[in-house]
A = this chain, B = another copy of it.
Amino acid sequence: MKALLLIGDGMADRPLKELNGKTPLEVAKKPSLNKIAKNGICGIMDPIAPGIPPGSDTATLSLLGYDALKIYTGRGSLEALGCGMELLPGDVALRCNFATVDENMVVLDRRAGRIENEDAAKLTESLQEVKLKQSSDVKFFLKNTVQHRAVLLIRGSKLSADVSNSDPLKIGKKVLEVKPLSDSLAAKRTAEILNELMLKFHEVLKEHPINKKRVKHGLLPANVLLFRGAGSAPIMKPLSEIYSVNTACVAAMPLIRGTCKAAGMKLVDVNGATGTPQTDFMAKAKATIQALKDNDFVFLHVKATDAASHDGFFKQKIELIEKIDEMLDYILDRIDTDNTYLAVTADHTTSSITKSHEGDPVPVAITGPYVRSDDVEEFSERACAKGGLHRIRGIDLMPILMNLIGKTKRFGA
């Protein structure tokens, strides 16, 4: 028996007036998702706890069965793992955004107009030249990933992830000074190093020819690097050890890949999987089918639905749900459904109105040879709420799936 877990990032939503009080999932044509709901058992799920808006990292930790409230230190470390950086005990890693500020360091765009990978790569290359003052024992490593996204890792003695963000998380606000969040010398030292790097990066970026070219072409310059989510290496028992399973992750986003890597999963590389609405859905489908041949558990993640929600593009979100549905149809036609359990869900609700992650629960549906199917016939937030799973938590999903494939250990005699 095998299990496949398909996650539509931020796929759940709230009812929209613009959709006559329906959610994008309710409006989308999604015969395959509905088939899973109809043949399977459905419910709603609080990724962390009722009302708590999760990040994609904490939600993914939960959906993999880990207690995010206990083990999560910050997204930076998971991003670092996800983009292939080496993460040693003591290292501190941060998620970065190439962003646009005015002359007063007020943020005009947190994503520098969703800068293309090529430009971000050239800027990153130049930033490698920056030198930290004194003969510091601290080294930094910077890597750009998808569009405006990058990871900064600092290595040296006495560093701490207990530091605040420089990213104000909103446009119209000034870039923040990084502050220590504990009284430790390590936190103070780490904050100082990050503030120094922020200013030195800004000096290089604001004069950079790439940015001058961008402005000339009417594009926003990436003249600052915003830091957030400082984290250290998470302490997690691998899934292979907890459940005696071989596992693989099919995902494009470094944050998701890093979370899966921290869980000891194999990362599948897929050409054309970009984490954007233009991602190659069918390439991911094919990689998933292949991964299911060699593994007991495969985690398939699609980012695009979340990105559309953050931009408030609910019509695009509907189209992307329909693309996920086509991808699912392709997969369903090619896997051994007599021996495979398939779960479909979202990692969190992202509202196309607030353009933010929200704490509303997500729909979940599980199909497979021996599930106790219910009466639900549609995969959506409200239809699944009537299902036989009732309301579970994210952390319950993995034991439920592993139980179905006979991989949970008995507690007691």
**Residues of chain A whose beta carbon lies under 8 Å from any beta carbon of chain B:** 14-15, 21, 23, 44, 48-59, 68-69, 72, 74-75, 95, 228-229, 255, 351, 353-354, 356-360, 370-374, 381-382, 385-386, 388-392, 396, 398-403, 406, 408-413
Contact = CB atoms under 8 A, between A and B. Distances in A.
A5 to B, nearest CB: 13
A69 B23 CA distance: 38
A372 B69 CA distance: 27
Given A56-B413, A389-B391, 19 more contacts: A14-B371, A15-B370, A15-B372, A21-B373, A44-B388, A50-B399, A51-B399, A51-B408, A52-B399, A52-B408, A54-B411, A229-B413, A351-B370, A357-B410, A358-B403, A359-B399, A360-B403, A372-B381, A390-B391
A272 to B, nearest CB: 25
B385 A374 contact: yes
A53 B408 contact: yes
Contacts of A399: 49-52, 359
A310 to B, nearest CB: 13
Contacts of A360: 372, 403
* From A372, A390, A401, residue with most partner B Cβ within 10 Å: A372
A396 B57 contact: no
Nearest to A384: B388
B58 A411 contact: yes
* From A50, A371, A373, residue with most partner B Cβ within 10 Å: A50
A87 B292 CA distance: 50
A296 to B, nearest CB: 15
25 contacts: A14-B371, A14-B372, A15-B371, A15-B373, A21-B373, A44-B390, A50-B392, A50-B400, A51-B399, A51-B400, A52-B399, A52-B411, A53-B403, A53-B408, A53-B411, A55-B411, A55-B413, A56-B412, A229-B413, A359-B400, A372-B381, A372-B385, A374-B385, A385-B388, A386-B388
A382 B372 contact: yes
Given A53-B408, A399-B51, A413-B255, A385 B381 contact: no
Given A49-B396, A390-B390, A396-B51, A413 B370 contact: no
Given A50-B392, A396-B49, A403-B360, A57 B412 contact: yes
B410 A54 contact: yes
